[in-house]
């Protein structure tokens, strides 16, 4: 297993963020768990990377990633979601399910970064819509 350095992760986060115009506060921290539910990328002694978030005294989630690409996919799925929520809020249509714009914008942003990531994100959205279809 290849060890990934903090500087490598930070560099890749910032490179990809620049592609889509993501702001620093929309990105996870790296090796700096701040609680308050902000996602953080953590390192284990055996080389596994974790994308996780904590609130004081409670782990909200922890996703393991064995390589940098998977880690970036997971991180940017959240970052693009945050950006898509902000886009939808600014462009809300009263007669439309808010998720239409949100999902569309998220996939658009993911496509800018990586077309395979966009396809995977769309697949996950399609699964969500099978059980909870648009309501407009």
**Distance (Å, whole) CA 118 – CA 76:** 11
Domain containing residue 87 = 6-131
| pLDDT value of position 47 | 78
How does residue 41 score in pLDDT terms, banded at 50, 70 and 90? very high
136 lies in a domain?
no
On the question of pLDDT at 1 being above 70, the answer is: no
**Distance (Å, whole) CA 15 – CA 113:** 10
Task: Tell me the pLDDT of the chain averaged across its residues.
Answer: 94
On the question of pLDDT at 36 being above 90, the answer is: no
CB 49 within 8 A of CB 71: yes
**Distance (Å, whole) CA 2 – CA 120:** 25
**Mean pLDDT in residue range 29-50:** 89
**Mean pLDDT in residue range 22-42:** 92
- What's the pTM value of the predicted model, to 2 decimals? 0.92
- The 10s digit of each residue's pLDDT in 2-25 is 568 999 999 999 999 999 999 999
1 lies in a domain?
no
98 lies in a domain?
yes
111 lies in a domain?
yes
- The 10s digit of each residue's pLDDT in 49-96 is 999 999 988 999 999 998 999 999 999 999 999 999 999 999 999 999
How does residue 45 score in pLDDT terms, banded at 50, 70 and 90? confident
| pLDDT value of position 35 | 76
Work out how many domains the chain is built from and give that number. Answer: 1
Handedness of CA 8, 63, 70, 106 (dihedral sign): negative
């Amino acid at each position: 297993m290849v060890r990934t350095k903090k500087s490598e992760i930070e560099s890749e986060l910032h490179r990809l963020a620049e592609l889509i115009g993501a702001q620093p506060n929309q990105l996870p921290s790296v090796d700096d768990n701040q609680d308050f539910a902000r996602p953080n990328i953590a390192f284990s002694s055996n080389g596994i990377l974790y994308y996780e978030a904590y609130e004081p005294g409670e782990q909200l989630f922890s996703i393991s990633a064995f390589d940098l690409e998977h880690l970036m996919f997971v991180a940017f799925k959240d970052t693009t979601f945050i950006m898509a929520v902000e886009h939808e809020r600014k462009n809300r249509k009263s007669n439309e399910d808010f998720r239409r714009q949100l999902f569309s914008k998220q996939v658009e942003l993911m496509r800018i970064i990586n077309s395979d990531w966009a396809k995977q994100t769309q697949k996950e959205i399609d699964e969500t819509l099978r059980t909870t279809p648009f309501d407009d």
